[in-house]
Amino acid sequence: MRDTDDAVAPEPGGTDDEAPVIPGLQDAGGPVIAIDELDGNELWWLQRGPGAHRARPEQADLAHEALAGSFVFAAESETAKGLRTPQLGALHAILAYRSTEDPEPITVVMPTGTGKTETMLATYAHTPARTLVIVPTDALRTQTAKKFATLGIVPEVGALVGDFLCPVVLVLKSAPATTDAARKILAGVGVVIATAQVLATCTAPVRKVITDVSDRLFVDEAHHGAAPTWRNVVEAFAGKEVVQFTATPYREDGRHMGGRVAYAYPLRLAQQHQYFAPIQYHSVVDFVDPDRAVATAATKRLRADLAAGRDHLMMARVRSVERAKEVIKIYEELAPDLKPVRIDTGLAPSTRQKRRDALFSRDSKIVVCVNMLGEGFDLPALKVAAVHDPQKSLAVTLQFIGRFTRTGNETLGDASAFVPLQVAGIDERLRKLYGEDADWNQVIRDLTEHGVSREKARTDFEKAFGSLPSEVAMRSVHPKMSTVTYQANGNLGWTPEKIYDLFEDRLLTTRIGINNKDRVAWWVSREAVPVRWGDFSSFNELVHDLYVVHVDEDNGFVYVNCDVSGHR
């Protein structure tokens, strides 16, 4: 066990071997989380509050048994607390997926502010089971662990009734040295929170222990899912429940993050129901000293918001640590009373944490950072954005904007963004966003929903393949952008099964990928051909070709994609 700077005394009557405790999601008198150190990792459990354990945590099975049956579908209304419409919608989609025993992962798309993490909590509370949650950053790991240890808002809004126990949470900070060490720290744990990077440092046998004891996987900020470290974890859960959560289900590199989109709550509804706060965009034109112009305009807005009684903070975004060192000097000159701080990887972790704490306590009201303080960073008071170096890609821009559109209590007003007028080198889709008179609320909605609809169309297209070869994963197939087009003289039929007769034993796969809805088929052939660098009869070369065929019956065209020119 250890002492922490924010530890509070145990409750009266506690024993000497009680774990140190830290404040939970509420102030004094609210939930209290106890922490045990386990070989560089941490065991968290609720020691005071709804669903609390005793001085020592109960085993996972007992906690699950106590929680089972306590969940109710409490819906938010004008007169009663409850789960939000997008949270309940996502939960029902997850339960529907579970009922089909579909071995493929699913993706839940929820705009920033609608409550992705609370949806995870509700899903867990509905059906308690050993769960692994992977997140992109250390800060989000801690934030998510606090919510799971208390079940967040789920008890508060009346979605849990009767006597229940919150889960015992393992915060995985370092790789267990051996499989025995892994089994030891996992014993009695209901939820494991880890970054993909920490899991990647585990040996393969240790990772197998972690995934084997877990019944399901939740992936937060799932647009990272195409990265190898994330994909390896997801693939280890083959045949188990995998639910991916994200606000932006697309990547700038075009790689598919995997999993069909099972639920997507529209951003227009999030705006309409005030889950996603309005944001006022201000284009700053100054070609002499744009940094000072942006800082001056943003600081003026922050002061006006504070004078109006708003609990607002400002984030100044730059592209690098060196730029952060330059820009912080401007804010120190313009607003020393607001105690601007710099947070980036050029500082020690302990220093970064102290400066984050200064924001949460409001000792500092301006932060200069590289990018966005880490994904999933939840501080609704961030309401003024000074974008000194605009992002140049759509997904990152939308994630950044989400920092400022979170809603909260009546002390929070609308968000404001101040951006220098410069559009050179940015994504074409962002030119409307960075235009001089852009309505960000409209443009953000259009860009987001276009991206979501494209990803959903992609997953729907994949799902329409009722027949798929087991030897080749469709997501690993990347056809070249070329085709040969044939025009039929008469009516075209759609009989892809005849491909079996045409290729016979040359087929690599026992099945052909067939999408009857879109009239698309694909398959891989395997054939021995002469080598290209000589004339030999004693040996040859084994080559594999990908074929993709699309039949356009309405217009009488057949499109064939196949790259065989290199060896024939």
Over residues 276-287, the pLDDT tens digits come to: 778 888 888 887
Quickly state the pLDDT bin for 209 (edges 50, 70, 90): very high
Predicted confidence at residue 199, as pLDDT, reads 93
Domain that holds residue 176: 21-265
Give the pLDDT mean for 503-515: 83
Count of C-beta atoms within a 10 Å radius of residue 309 = 10
Give the pLDDT mean for 14-24: 40
pLDDT of 409-439, one tens digit each? Answer: 788 888 888 888 764 445 555 555 555 455 6
Look at residue 11 and tell me whether its pLDDT is greater than 80.
Answer: no
Predicted confidence at residue 504, as pLDDT, reads 81
Q: Is residue 166 part of a domain?
A: yes
Predicted confidence at residue 509, as pLDDT, reads 77
Point out the domain boundary residue: 245, 265, 285. Answer: 265
Same-domain pairing of 283 and 254: no
Same-domain pairing of 203 and 260: yes
Report the percentage of the chain scoring pLDDT > 70. Answer: 84
Q: Is residue 418 part of a domain?
A: yes
Q: Is residue 71 part of a domain?
A: yes
Give the pLDDT mean for 88-99: 95
HSE-up (13 A, CA, CB side) for residue 427: 16
Look at residue 352 and tell me whether its pLDDT is greater than 50.
Answer: yes
The whole-angstrom separation of Cα 414 and Cα 431 is 23
Predicted confidence at residue 133, as pLDDT, reads 97
396 Ramachandran zone, left/alpha/beta (phi>0; psi -120 to 50): alpha
Give the pLDDT mean for 338-349: 91
The whole-angstrom separation of Cα 89 and Cα 93 is 6
Quickly state the pLDDT bin for 15 (edges 50, 70, 90): very low
Same-domain pairing of 405 and 323: yes
Write the single-letter amino acid at 520.
V
Following DSSP, what letter does each residue of 149-183 receive, concatenated?
Answer: HHTTTTTTTT-B-SS--PPPEEEE-S--SSHHHHH
Compute and round to an integer the Cα radius of gyration of the chain.
27
The larger pLDDT score, comparing residue 1 to residue 331, is at 331
Cβ within 8 Å of residue 210, ≥6 positions away:
132, 172, 182, 186, 192, 194, 199, 202
The whole-angstrom separation of Cα 416 and Cα 282 is 7
Same-domain pairing of 31 and 111: yes
Same-domain pairing of 86 and 165: yes
User: Is the pTM here over 0.75, yes or no?
Assistant: no
Predicted confidence at residue 397, as pLDDT, reads 74
pLDDT of 353-394, one tens digit each? Answer: 899 899 999 999 999 998 766 555 678 889 999 989 887 666
For residue 435 the two structure tokens come to: 């235009």
Same-domain pairing of 232 and 135: yes
Q: Is residue 244 part of a domain?
A: yes
Q: Is residue 52 part of a domain?
A: yes
Same-domain pairing of 352 and 482: no
The whole-angstrom separation of Cα 304 and Cα 192 is 43
The whole-angstrom separation of Cα 241 and Cα 9 is 40
The larger pLDDT score, comparing residue 274 to residue 192, is at 192
Give the pLDDT mean for 283-304: 91
Q: Is residue 463 part of a domain?
A: no
Q: Is residue 460 part of a domain?
A: no
CA dihedral 430, 431, 434, 436 (to 10 degrees): -160
Q: Is residue 81 part of a domain?
A: yes
Same-domain pairing of 215 and 313: no
Mean pLDDT of the chain: 83
Point out the domain boundary residue: 217, 240, 265. Answer: 265
Point out the domain boundary residue: 233, 265, 297. Answer: 265
Write the CATH number for 341: 3.40.50.300
Predicted confidence at residue 10, as pLDDT, reads 33
Same-domain pairing of 414 and 289: yes
Predicted confidence at residue 430, as pLDDT, reads 56
Give the pLDDT mean for 547-556: 89
Look at residue 73 and tell me whether its pLDDT is greater than 90.
Answer: yes
Same-domain pairing of 342 and 293: yes
Same-domain pairing of 36 and 165: yes
Same-domain pairing of 112 and 252: yes
SS3 category, 253: coil
pLDDT of 96-127, one tens digit each? Answer: 999 988 878 899 999 888 889 999 999 999 99
Number of domains in the chain: 3
